[in-house]
């Protein structure tokens, strides 16, 4: 089980809130991917909740959600691939923004929220 506190990284930006994903976000994330991709997204673990659980309990994955007015409208992740002590790499992925909220820089807000958290990955 991860030692991370999902609420500890919450950042309030006016009516936007960027925070770590929680298991209770499974349905909201499933709905975002379904709205954007139908059932054709190549990683089906976003639909059955496995992806969110991996994010919550794996210390090498940072996944954030973006809430606007209390509604999850976006999500994105950084998967850290740690090699030896001086070789760290990460991969951005699983980004999704509700179609009604696209084009306003919300995806960039998620990216901007992810990078400062990488210093806690070892």
pLDDT tens profile 87-107? 567 788 999 999 999 998 999
Smallest Cα–Cα separation from 57: which of 112, 116, 4, 120? 4
| Dihedral sign computed on CA atoms, order 31, 118, 7, 22 | positive
pTM for the whole thing? Answer: 0.80
Return the domain boundaries, the chain: 11-120
Superfamily of domain 11-120: Gcn5-related N-acetyltransferase (GNAT) (3.40.630.30)
pLDDT tens for each residue of 53-79 = 999 998 888 999 999 989 999 999 998
């Amino acid at each position: 089980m991860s030692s991370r506190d999902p609420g500890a990284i919450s950042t309030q930006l006016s009516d936007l809130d960027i925070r770590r994903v929680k298991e209770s976000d499974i349905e909201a994330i499933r709905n975002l991917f379904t709205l954007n991709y139908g059932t054709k997204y190549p990683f089906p673990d976003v639909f059955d909740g496995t992806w969110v659980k991996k994010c919550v309990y794996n210390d090498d994955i940072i996944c954030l959600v973006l809430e606007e007015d209390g509604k999850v409208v976006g999500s994105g992740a950084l998967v850290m691939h740690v090699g030896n002590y001086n070789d760290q790499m990460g991969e951005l992925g699983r980004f999704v923004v509700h179609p009604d909220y696209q084009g306003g820089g919300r995806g960039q807000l998620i990216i901007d929220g992810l990078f400062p958290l990488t210093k806690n990955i070892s």
